[in-house]
Amino acid sequence: MVLIDTHSHIYLPEFEKDASQVFERAEKEGVNKVLMPAIDSSTHLSMIGLEKQNPERFFCMMGLHPCSVKDNFREELKIAREYLDKRHFVAVGEIGLDFYWDKTFTEQQYEAFHTQVEWAIHFDIPIVIHSRNSTDECIKVVAEHQKGKLKGVFHCFSGSVEQARQVIDLGFYLGIGGVVTFKNAGLDKVIESVGLEYVLLETDAPYLAPVPFRGKRNEPSYLRYVVDKLADLKKSSAQEVAVVTTKNAEKLFNLIN
């Protein structure tokens, strides 16, 4: 079985002590590629450093996370843009809106989001969207920019069946991770109503570990629990889920050379 973890912050300090074991377990479960979303300039270097160690396996995105949009966001955007001008990244991410913790910088979050969507169109790479408590708002921003060239994924999709339909109609994928294994998360209905061809697998490690590890540190090898849950919901096999979602990830992020 070959799996791609399309969203994993494995460069964070949470993995400092046992990174090699984490990567070994991932390989054992068939997770042979891990895509790393950027956060801000405090973590760009550790992310890029990890990719340098194993460029066949680890792939960097570049962007400014909405939770890192503060007073200095223009400076942060400048740094991210300089990286994008210098080399190839698999996506602009993660970007978007987060209205869960703090709405102080709402206006700035919107400005950063719009700017980075334009970058993705310019570089012809996908966007990876963080849409916590802001699914409708993010759908609206994507719709404004969607003139046929924009592509990407709603990472950690947690919306309704109706919102899932809108995301798919915009040509976007749904990023599905550990939350699908949580009771009462409401994702069951969404998964039952959409085809696997619109689904990408992700962990969002170290966050959002699937059952039976809920609340613990998440890691790429746990993707297997997401696969099993999806197979269950789709009345399909784990192998089929792996084949389809891996193909989706390879296509969106242009991972086949």
User: Mapping DSSP to helix (H, G, I), strand (E, B) and coil, where does residue 83 land?
Assistant: helix
Buried b (16+ CB within 10 A) or exposed e, 209-241: bbeeeeeeebbbbbbbbbbebbbebbeeebeeb
Instruction: Considering only the stretches 29-37, 80-88, 161-169, 224-232, report the one whose residues sit in contact with Ni ion under the rule CB under 5 A.
Output: 29-37
Instruction: Considering only the stretches 30-38, 105-113, 187-195, 245-253, report the one whose residues sit in contact with Ni ion under the rule CB under 5 A.
Output: 30-38
Q: In the bound complex, what is the minimum distance in angstroms from residue 38's beta carbon to Ni ion? A: 9
If you search the block for the tokens 């099993």, which residue do you land on?
Answer: 228
Q: In the bound complex, what is the minimum distance in angstroms from residue 148's beta carbon to Ni ion? A: 27
Q: In the bound complex, what is the minimum distance in angstroms from residue 240's beta carbon to Ni ion? A: 27
DSSP secondary structure string for all residues of 134-195: -HHHHHHHHHHH-SS---EEEET----HHHHHHHHHTT-EEEE-GGGGSTT-SHHHHHHHS-
Q: In the bound complex, what is the minimum distance in angstroms from residue 237's beta carbon to Ni ion? A: 29
Under DSSP, the state recorded for 60 is E
Q: In the bound complex, what is the minimum distance in angstroms from residue 39's beta carbon to Ni ion? A: 8
Number of shown-chain residues binding Ni ion (CB under 5 A): 1
* 6 versus 166: smaller Cβ distance to Ni ion: 6
**Under rule CB under 5 A, which residues in 32-71 are in contact with Ni ion?**
37
* 156 versus 233: smaller Cβ distance to Ni ion: 156
* 5 versus 29: smaller Cβ distance to Ni ion: 5
* 37 versus 66: smaller Cβ distance to Ni ion: 37
β-partners of residue 33 are 4
**Under rule CB under 5 A, which residues in 168-227 are in contact with Ni ion?**
none
- The two counts, helices (H) then strands (E), for the chain are 9, 8
Output Rg (C-alpha) for the chain, integer angstroms: 17
Q: In the bound complex, what is the minimum distance in angstroms from residue 87's beta carbon to Ni ion? A: 21
* 29 versus 204: smaller Cβ distance to Ni ion: 204
Nearest-CA neighbor of 71 among 22, 108, 120? 108
| Helix H or strand E segment including 108 | helix 106-123
* 132 versus 145: smaller Cβ distance to Ni ion: 132
The edge-to-edge listing of strands for the beta sheet with 199-201 is 92-98, 127-132, 152-155, 173-176, 199-201
Q: In the bound complex, what is the minimum distance in angstroms from residue 7's beta carbon to Ni ion? A: 6
197 within 8 A of 183, measured Cβ to Cβ: no
CB atoms within 10 A of CB 74: 13
* 37 versus 210: smaller Cβ distance to Ni ion: 37
Task: List residues binding Ni ion (CB under 5 A).
Answer: 37
